[in-house]
Amino acid sequence: MASEEQCSVPPRWRSISLTHVEYAAGDLTGEVLAYTSLLPIAILVGFVTLIVFKRELHTISFFGGLILNEAVNWLLKYILREPRPCEGAHATLNTEYGMPSSHSQFIWFFVVYFFLFLYLRMHQTNNARCVELLWRHVLSIFLLGVALSVSYSRVYLLYHSWSQVIYGGVAGSIIGVVWFFITQEVLTPLFPKIAAWPISEFFLVRDTSLIPNILWFEYTVTRAEARNRQRKLGTKLQ
Protein backbone atom coordinates (compact mmCIF):
# COMPACT_ATOMS: atom_id res chain seq x y z
CA MET A 1 0.00 0.00 0.00
CA ALA A 2 1.06 3.58 -0.63
CA SER A 3 2.20 5.58 2.38
CA GLU A 4 0.50 8.82 3.47
CA GLU A 5 3.57 10.76 2.35
CA GLN A 6 3.30 9.32 -1.19
CA CYS A 7 -0.39 10.22 -1.38
CA SER A 8 0.07 13.75 -0.05
CA VAL A 9 2.68 14.59 -2.70
CA PRO A 10 1.64 12.54 -5.74
CA PRO A 11 4.10 12.25 -8.63
CA ARG A 12 3.42 13.69 -12.05
CA TRP A 13 1.89 10.80 -13.98
CA ARG A 14 2.27 10.23 -17.71
CA SER A 15 0.31 7.83 -19.90
CA ILE A 16 1.70 5.36 -22.40
CA SER A 17 0.64 7.03 -25.65
CA LEU A 18 1.65 4.35 -28.17
CA THR A 19 -1.94 3.79 -29.29
CA HIS A 20 -3.36 7.13 -28.16
CA VAL A 21 -5.03 8.37 -31.36
CA GLU A 22 -7.58 11.15 -30.97
CA TYR A 23 -10.59 11.95 -33.15
CA ALA A 24 -13.40 14.49 -32.89
CA ALA A 25 -16.23 13.37 -30.63
CA GLY A 26 -19.23 12.21 -32.63
CA ASP A 27 -17.27 11.94 -35.89
CA LEU A 28 -17.84 8.38 -37.16
CA THR A 29 -15.46 8.81 -40.09
CA GLY A 30 -12.78 10.10 -37.76
CA GLU A 31 -13.30 7.15 -35.43
CA VAL A 32 -12.94 4.66 -38.30
CA LEU A 33 -9.81 6.42 -39.55
CA ALA A 34 -8.39 6.52 -36.02
CA TYR A 35 -8.61 2.74 -35.86
CA THR A 36 -7.19 2.53 -39.38
CA SER A 37 -4.15 4.53 -38.31
CA LEU A 38 -3.38 1.80 -35.75
CA LEU A 39 -2.65 -0.72 -38.53
CA PRO A 40 1.15 -0.16 -38.37
CA ILE A 41 1.08 -1.37 -34.76
CA ALA A 42 -0.93 -4.43 -35.79
CA ILE A 43 1.64 -5.12 -38.53
CA LEU A 44 4.49 -4.92 -36.01
CA VAL A 45 2.69 -7.34 -33.68
CA GLY A 46 2.16 -9.68 -36.65
CA PHE A 47 5.86 -9.59 -37.51
CA VAL A 48 6.91 -10.37 -33.96
CA THR A 49 4.46 -13.28 -33.91
CA LEU A 50 5.77 -14.64 -37.22
CA ILE A 51 9.38 -14.34 -36.10
CA VAL A 52 8.69 -16.14 -32.81
CA PHE A 53 6.79 -19.02 -34.42
CA LYS A 54 8.38 -19.26 -37.89
CA ARG A 55 11.94 -18.03 -37.24
CA GLU A 56 12.54 -17.51 -40.96
CA LEU A 57 15.45 -15.36 -42.08
CA HIS A 58 13.63 -13.45 -44.81
CA THR A 59 10.89 -12.45 -42.34
CA ILE A 60 13.56 -11.30 -39.90
CA SER A 61 15.20 -9.27 -42.68
CA PHE A 62 11.84 -7.71 -43.62
CA PHE A 63 11.29 -6.75 -39.98
CA GLY A 64 14.82 -5.34 -39.80
CA GLY A 65 13.98 -3.12 -42.77
CA LEU A 66 10.91 -1.81 -40.95
CA ILE A 67 13.04 -0.93 -37.93
CA LEU A 68 15.61 0.78 -40.17
CA ASN A 69 12.81 2.71 -41.86
CA GLU A 70 11.57 3.93 -38.46
CA ALA A 71 15.09 5.01 -37.50
CA VAL A 72 15.42 7.01 -40.72
CA ASN A 73 12.05 8.65 -40.04
CA TRP A 74 13.12 9.65 -36.54
CA LEU A 75 16.37 11.10 -37.91
CA LEU A 76 14.58 13.06 -40.64
CA LYS A 77 12.10 14.52 -38.16
CA TYR A 78 14.86 15.86 -35.93
CA ILE A 79 16.82 17.21 -38.89
CA LEU A 80 13.90 18.97 -40.59
CA ARG A 81 12.06 19.95 -37.36
CA GLU A 82 8.88 20.90 -39.20
CA PRO A 83 5.95 21.31 -36.78
CA ARG A 84 2.62 19.57 -37.17
CA PRO A 85 -0.14 21.47 -39.01
CA CYS A 86 -2.37 22.25 -36.00
CA GLU A 87 -0.16 22.88 -32.99
CA GLY A 88 -1.96 22.07 -29.76
CA ALA A 89 -4.77 20.16 -31.47
CA HIS A 90 -3.80 16.91 -29.75
CA ALA A 91 -2.91 16.53 -26.11
CA THR A 92 -0.60 13.52 -26.41
CA LEU A 93 2.05 13.21 -29.12
CA ASN A 94 5.20 11.12 -29.30
CA THR A 95 7.02 13.99 -30.99
CA GLU A 96 6.14 17.58 -31.86
CA TYR A 97 7.62 17.30 -35.34
CA GLY A 98 5.61 16.06 -38.31
CA MET A 99 7.91 15.92 -41.35
CA PRO A 100 7.81 13.24 -42.64
CA SER A 101 4.80 11.30 -41.34
CA SER A 102 5.99 8.14 -39.60
CA HIS A 103 2.69 6.34 -40.22
CA SER A 104 2.82 7.13 -43.93
CA GLN A 105 6.48 6.19 -44.23
CA PHE A 106 5.91 2.93 -42.35
CA ILE A 107 2.87 1.76 -44.32
CA TRP A 108 4.35 2.63 -47.73
CA PHE A 109 7.59 0.82 -46.90
CA PHE A 110 5.56 -2.25 -45.95
CA VAL A 111 3.27 -2.13 -49.00
CA VAL A 112 5.99 -1.44 -51.58
CA TYR A 113 8.22 -4.17 -50.15
CA PHE A 114 5.26 -6.57 -50.15
CA PHE A 115 4.46 -5.70 -53.79
CA LEU A 116 8.01 -6.58 -54.81
CA PHE A 117 7.90 -9.76 -52.73
CA LEU A 118 4.64 -10.87 -54.37
CA TYR A 119 5.63 -10.23 -57.98
CA LEU A 120 9.40 -10.83 -57.98
CA ARG A 121 10.03 -13.50 -55.38
CA MET A 122 6.89 -15.49 -54.66
CA HIS A 123 5.97 -17.93 -57.43
CA GLN A 124 3.29 -20.57 -57.47
CA THR A 125 4.49 -24.10 -58.13
CA ASN A 126 1.31 -25.52 -59.65
CA ASN A 127 -0.31 -24.70 -62.99
CA ALA A 128 -3.10 -22.45 -61.69
CA ARG A 129 -1.59 -19.38 -63.33
CA CYS A 130 -4.83 -17.39 -63.62
CA VAL A 131 -5.79 -18.06 -60.01
CA GLU A 132 -2.28 -17.15 -58.90
CA LEU A 133 -2.32 -13.81 -60.71
CA LEU A 134 -5.85 -13.05 -59.54
CA TRP A 135 -5.11 -13.40 -55.84
CA ARG A 136 -1.91 -11.39 -56.22
CA HIS A 137 -3.76 -8.54 -57.91
CA VAL A 138 -6.59 -8.62 -55.36
CA LEU A 139 -4.11 -8.59 -52.46
CA SER A 140 -2.13 -5.77 -54.09
CA ILE A 141 -5.25 -3.64 -54.56
CA PHE A 142 -6.25 -4.30 -50.93
CA LEU A 143 -2.79 -3.29 -49.66
CA LEU A 144 -2.84 -0.16 -51.80
CA GLY A 145 -6.19 0.76 -50.27
CA VAL A 146 -4.77 0.20 -46.79
CA ALA A 147 -1.78 2.46 -47.50
CA LEU A 148 -3.98 5.23 -48.88
CA SER A 149 -6.39 4.95 -45.92
CA VAL A 150 -3.64 5.14 -43.31
CA SER A 151 -2.06 8.11 -45.09
CA TYR A 152 -5.37 9.95 -45.42
CA SER A 153 -6.22 9.29 -41.77
CA ARG A 154 -3.19 11.28 -40.63
CA VAL A 155 -4.37 14.35 -42.58
CA TYR A 156 -8.04 13.98 -41.64
CA LEU A 157 -7.20 13.67 -37.94
CA LEU A 158 -4.95 16.78 -38.13
CA TYR A 159 -1.75 14.95 -37.20
CA HIS A 160 0.02 15.83 -40.45
CA SER A 161 -0.22 18.04 -43.51
CA TRP A 162 -0.51 16.63 -47.03
CA SER A 163 3.14 17.41 -47.74
CA GLN A 164 4.26 15.54 -44.61
CA VAL A 165 2.22 12.50 -45.60
CA ILE A 166 3.39 12.58 -49.24
CA TYR A 167 7.06 12.94 -48.34
CA GLY A 168 6.66 10.16 -45.78
CA GLY A 169 5.16 7.91 -48.45
CA VAL A 170 7.97 8.72 -50.90
CA ALA A 171 10.66 8.07 -48.28
CA GLY A 172 9.07 4.78 -47.22
CA SER A 173 8.67 3.63 -50.83
CA ILE A 174 12.31 4.40 -51.69
CA ILE A 175 13.62 2.65 -48.59
CA GLY A 176 11.31 -0.30 -49.30
CA VAL A 177 12.70 -0.73 -52.82
CA VAL A 178 16.31 -0.36 -51.68
CA TRP A 179 15.89 -2.76 -48.76
CA PHE A 180 14.17 -5.38 -50.94
CA PHE A 181 17.06 -5.48 -53.38
CA ILE A 182 19.63 -5.47 -50.55
CA THR A 183 17.79 -8.46 -49.07
CA GLN A 184 17.59 -10.24 -52.44
CA GLU A 185 21.07 -9.52 -53.78
CA VAL A 186 23.21 -9.20 -50.65
CA LEU A 187 21.56 -10.95 -47.70
CA THR A 188 19.78 -13.89 -49.38
CA PRO A 189 23.04 -15.53 -50.60
CA LEU A 190 24.27 -15.39 -46.98
CA PHE A 191 21.12 -16.96 -45.50
CA PRO A 192 22.26 -20.63 -45.92
CA LYS A 193 25.48 -19.85 -44.03
CA ILE A 194 23.61 -17.96 -41.31
CA ALA A 195 21.09 -20.81 -40.94
CA ALA A 196 23.99 -23.23 -40.46
CA TRP A 197 25.45 -21.31 -37.51
CA PRO A 198 25.20 -23.24 -34.21
CA ILE A 199 23.22 -20.42 -32.60
CA SER A 200 20.76 -20.46 -35.53
CA GLU A 201 20.33 -24.22 -35.17
CA PHE A 202 19.81 -23.82 -31.44
CA PHE A 203 17.01 -21.29 -31.96
CA LEU A 204 15.62 -23.23 -34.98
CA VAL A 205 16.22 -20.32 -37.35
CA ARG A 206 15.67 -21.46 -40.93
CA ASP A 207 16.22 -20.33 -44.50
CA THR A 208 13.40 -20.84 -46.99
CA SER A 209 14.69 -18.46 -49.68
CA LEU A 210 15.15 -21.28 -52.23
CA ILE A 211 11.51 -22.37 -51.86
CA PRO A 212 9.46 -20.31 -54.38
CA ASN A 213 6.17 -20.39 -52.45
CA ILE A 214 6.59 -21.27 -48.81
CA LEU A 215 2.82 -21.32 -48.19
CA TRP A 216 2.26 -23.92 -50.91
CA PHE A 217 5.31 -25.90 -49.79
CA GLU A 218 4.22 -26.02 -46.14
CA TYR A 219 0.69 -26.96 -47.17
CA THR A 220 1.75 -29.86 -49.40
CA VAL A 221 4.37 -31.18 -46.95
CA THR A 222 1.99 -30.97 -44.00
CA ARG A 223 -0.80 -32.67 -45.95
CA ALA A 224 1.51 -35.47 -47.12
CA GLU A 225 2.84 -36.02 -43.59
CA ALA A 226 -0.66 -36.06 -42.10
CA ARG A 227 -1.81 -38.65 -44.64
CA ASN A 228 1.29 -40.75 -44.02
CA ARG A 229 0.75 -40.74 -40.25
CA GLN A 230 -2.95 -41.49 -40.69
CA ARG A 231 -2.07 -44.45 -42.92
CA LYS A 232 0.42 -45.77 -40.35
CA LEU A 233 -2.11 -45.31 -37.55
CA GLY A 234 -4.71 -47.22 -39.55
CA THR A 235 -2.26 -50.06 -40.14
CA LYS A 236 -1.54 -50.37 -36.40
CA LEU A 237 -5.23 -50.46 -35.51
CA GLN A 238 -5.92 -53.39 -37.89
| 119: CB partners within 8 A, 6+ apart | 136
In angstroms, the CA 181 to CA 204 distance is 26
* pLDDT at residue 91, rounded to an integer: 62
pLDDT in tens, the chain (238 residues): 445 555 555 566 555 555 677 777 777 887 788 888 888 888 889 889 988 888 888 889 999 999 999 999 999 888 888 887 866 666 666 667 778 888 899 999 999 999 898 888 775 444 456 766 777 888 888 999 999 998 888 888 887 888 889 999 999 999 999 999 999 889 888 888 888 889 988 888 888 877 777 777 778 888 888 888 888 776 665 5
State residue 178's pLDDT score: 95
